[in-house]
Structure 1
Amino acid sequence: MNLQLQRFYEDYRAYEMNKDLVENFHKRACQEKYRVVKALMACKLKDGDSVCTHVQRFQQHVECLVRINVNFDEEMDIDIVLNSLPSYYDQFILAYHLSNKNTTLAQLHNLLQIAEAVMKGKGTASTPASSPFISIGQGKGIKDMLGAKRKLDAGTWEFESKL
């Protein structure tokens, strides 16, 4: 507490001081919560932007909300991130949901980076109509550390549980 507040509250009892502080700072906390939630919901991945930067920006907003005691569970965080992706990630989102895996936000971040690299390698990141086909099931490919299996030649995605 700064010196000015200490002097102001020196004749208050602890309960009265707490009540007064809560009343004074509640409005400010509500305004901050509104500002951060609005920014979080407006956070959409734009063409040409990096998935890495997008997820990091999202994580910064979530950390601001945690500081003011607004908590989302990790599943909600992941749903909000997936909802913020453009339409050319629809096949990735479908494969993610069909895989029915419990992943963390960090693991989703890594999977999105892999998907972005594959789409950029195929030249499809900016054209929704030519998004790569994504499938769930068995196939030959390169296994990543997180269990994402990719076929570089066909541009397909498959998820296997390694978690």
Structure 2
Amino acid sequence: MLDVGCLMLATMVPELQKQHEDMGAYEMIQNLKEIYEGQARQERYETSRALFQCKMNEGSPVGAHVIKMMGYIQTLEKLGFPLKNELATDVILQSLSDSFKPFVLNFNMNEINKTLPQLVGMLRTAEGNMKKNSSKSVLMVREENRKKKAKSKGNGKSKPKENDALKLENGISKDRKCFYCEKSGH
């Protein structure tokens, strides 16, 4: 039968082997715990800090943002501090940019329960729909401006346009003739 201590020593780097060669298995485990526990705590601190401070920039791709956050969540799980799916989802939704507020409201109102990969898919779909809708709204604004211009041209009278340097006061522009009576300076 193999000695557990010998097996542990065989898997260690030479520096650790020298340090632990006179110890039994239990003593080796306790010593290794002391050595590496501080590093694990620091890594957990840094990872959780990065996760909870993560904020998506407006206009950046949502998929890359959420996948980065999922990496932090998986790292915490490997360190022995898993987040439940509901909390992980909340942290991700809270990190999204303001343009995703309608999505988050809908998600919470409908009490949607999805895995993180499913959430990424939903967010990518929502992002694509927002891009489509934003280009349509720009076209609608342009169409409204065209309609207003067409209406103003149809009555035969046009108002003088405001010059950047000159402002209209009571129908009279500075350094120009009166719009109504064609006289200057009154």
Q: TM-score, normalised by structure 2?
A: 0.64
Partners of 2:89 and 2:68 in 1: how far apart?
Answer: 14
Spell out the pairing of 1:49-64 with structure 2 (5 A cutoff): 49-64=60-75
Larger Rg: 2
Spell out the pairing of 1:11-160 with structure 2 (5 A cutoff): 11-123=22-134
Once the 2 structures are TM-superposed, how far is the Cα of residue 88 of structure 1 from its aligned partner? 2.0
Deviations 1:11-31 (A, max 9, x none): 011111111111111111111
Partners of 2:89 and 2:108 in 1: how far apart?
Answer: 11
Aligned residue type for 1:101: I
Once the 2 structures are TM-superposed, how far is the Cα of residue 100 of structure 1 from its aligned partner? 1.6
Question: RMSD of aligned C-alpha atoms?
Answer: 1.3
- Between the two proteins, what is the percent identity of the paired residues? 33
Partners of 2:129 and 2:122 in 1: how far apart?
Answer: 11
Once the 2 structures are TM-superposed, how far is the Cα of residue 6 of structure 1 from its aligned partner? 1.3
Structure 1 residues 48 and 101: CA distance shift in structure 2, 3 A: closer
* Unaligned residue ranges in structure 2 (runs of 5+): 1-11, 136-186
Once the 2 structures are TM-superposed, how far is the Cα of residue 101 of structure 1 from its aligned partner? 2.6
Number of equivalent positions: 124
Partners of 2:69 and 2:15 in 1: how far apart?
Answer: 36
Once the 2 structures are TM-superposed, how far is the Cα of residue 118 of structure 1 from its aligned partner? 0.8
Secondary structure of the residue aligned to 2:41 is helix
Partners of 1:101 and 1:48 in 2: how far apart?
Answer: 25
Larger relative contact order, structure 1 or 2 (CA cutoff 8 Å, min sep 6): 1
Deviations 1:62-110 (A, max 9, x none): 1211221110111111010001012221111111011123211111111
Secondary structure of the residue aligned to 2:76 is helix
Deviations 1:37-61 (A, max 9, x none): 1111121110121001001101111
Aligned residue type for 2:96: L
Q: TM-score, normalised by structure 1?
A: 0.72
Runs of 4+ aligned residues of structure 1 deviating over 4 Å after TM superposition are none
1:8 equivalent to 2:19? Answer yes
Secondary structure of the residue aligned to 2:128 is helix
Aligned residue type for 1:22: K
Greater fraction helix: 2
Q: Report what 1:142 is aligned to.
A: none
Once the 2 structures are TM-superposed, how far is the Cα of residue 114 of structure 1 from its aligned partner? 0.8
Partners of 1:87 and 1:78 in 2: how far apart?
Answer: 17
